[in-house]
Structure 1
Amino acid sequence: MVRRFIVATALAGTAGLALAGCGGGGKKHDGPEVAWAGKACAAMNQGAPLAVPKQLNSANVLQSKASMVKLLDGISTRMASLEVRLQGLGAPPVAGGQALLTTAMSNLTRTHSSVSTATKRLHKAKVTDKRSLQQAIGQVGVAFSAYKTYQGPQQDFRKDPKLNAAFAKAPACRTAQPS
């Protein structure tokens, strides 16, 4: 029973990628911006969701610190991968596309840098008790807040009316969450 579920899930995932055309755009008459938006959505939605600790374990401060470092490392790694994938797509095929890509990449890189710096600080923080854990996490709070409020590159791309419409049309974007 479990094996059938795993096979069915794998087949559904493969079919989803085929339907999305590995990030493929829309119909042939939709234009290159829809195809680009589909590829962008596929790039922004790669990877499994990260496990966020529901609460920190004040009884085991080292484990709590390790959980937060792992979370921030995961976020940083995903953001770095996203930077590479989006750069690989190139500018969207709309007027001012390079400026849109530059803005999106700048916002992504700035947020990634903030998370990466916070991860390094937390990793180096000396945590011995609940108070030192709270202090270390507090220093990370600003960076984590910046990450939580960042709505992702899709927000920057959607400022262009043609791309906004393209994101709405692209099959890969219909169920996509902005990254």
Structure 2
Amino acid sequence: MFRRVVTGVALSAAVSLAVVGCSSAGSPGEAPEVTWAGNVCEHLSRNGSQLRLPAIDQKKPQQAKKRVVAFLDGLATQLGSLEKDMKKEGAPPVEDGKQSFTKAMEGLSQAKQEVDGAVTSVRESKVDDEKSLNAALAKAGEGFRKAGRYQGPAQELRADPALKSAFDEAEDCAGIPVSSAKPATAGN
């Protein structure tokens, strides 16, 4: 049950946060939006360390619960750090950049809230056997599913054609996974 429910969240977190080798130093003569995209990649890289799904034994439900809570706390912390760093970066220097940035930040905030709600639900549940563990995970499942649909701020920002070009041109952002799916927020 845990793997099925949480795998979507973990994969989504990996896709939205995992970035290879971004750098904040723009190339001489680089367009401001390309430099901005490179800076965003740096934030994603710094906050995007991969979280591993914890190994759980449902025959040890209290231990399983602790591991699930620790995993979700780690994910929530990473999303919160990314949110803070992105706010420091500010809106991209393109036309309608503030609107794109606001939408991306709302999606990030919503995803964090969903994960926070799921971890609170699991943390507060009474777990003493497999049945109660599965019930706790099922109760938190909707938050997991909503957060699992979130593709990340880079994906949402790429929906703006000017920013898609900036991410594409930022040499150090080549490692950002790009989904073929239309960007979606955590609440959708």
TM-score band, normalised by shorter chain: 0.7 to 0.9
- What whole-Å deviation, never above 9, does each CA across 1:48-106 have from its counterpart, x for those lacking one? 2111125x311100011011101110010000000000000010000011111110111
- Which whole-Å deviations, capped at 9, do the CAs of 1:31-54 have from their partners, x for residues lacking one? 000000000011112242111125
Q: Report the Cα distance in structure 2 between the residues aligned to 1:51 and 1:155, rounded to whole angstroms.
A: 22
The alignment status of 1:148 with 2:130, answered yes or no, reads no
Mapped contact 1:45–1:176 kept (Cα < 8 A): no
Q: Which residue of 2 aligns with 1:101?
A: 101
Contiguous gaps of at least 5 residues in structure 1: 1-15
User: After superposition, what is the alpha-carbon deviation per residue over 1:112-157, rounded to whole angstroms, capped at 9, x for unaligned?
Assistant: 0011011111111000110000000011111111222210001111
Output the amino acid matched with 2:168: A
In structure 2, the partner of 1:49 is 50
Whole-angstrom distance in 1 between the partners of 2:50 and 2:168: 23
Q: How many residues align?
A: 158
Contact 1:104 1:157 in 2 (8 A): yes
| Amino acid across the alignment from 1:33 | E
The code of the aligned residue for 1:30 comes to E
- Name whichever structure is richer in helix by fraction: 1
**Separation (CA, whole Å) in 2 of partners of 1:172 and 1:42:** 9
| Unaligned runs of at least 5 residues, structure 2 | 1-19, 179-188
CA RMSD in angstroms, aligned pairs only: 1.7
CA distance in 2, matches of 1:76, 1:166: 28
Q: Give identity over the alignment, percent.
A: 34
> How far 1:28 moved relative to its partner?
2.8
Rounded to whole Å, the distance in 2 between the matches of 1:153 and 1:24 is 21
1:24 aligned partner = 25
Runs of 4+ more than 2 Å apart: 22-25, 27-30
Pair member with larger Rg: 1
Partner of 2:78 in structure 1? 78
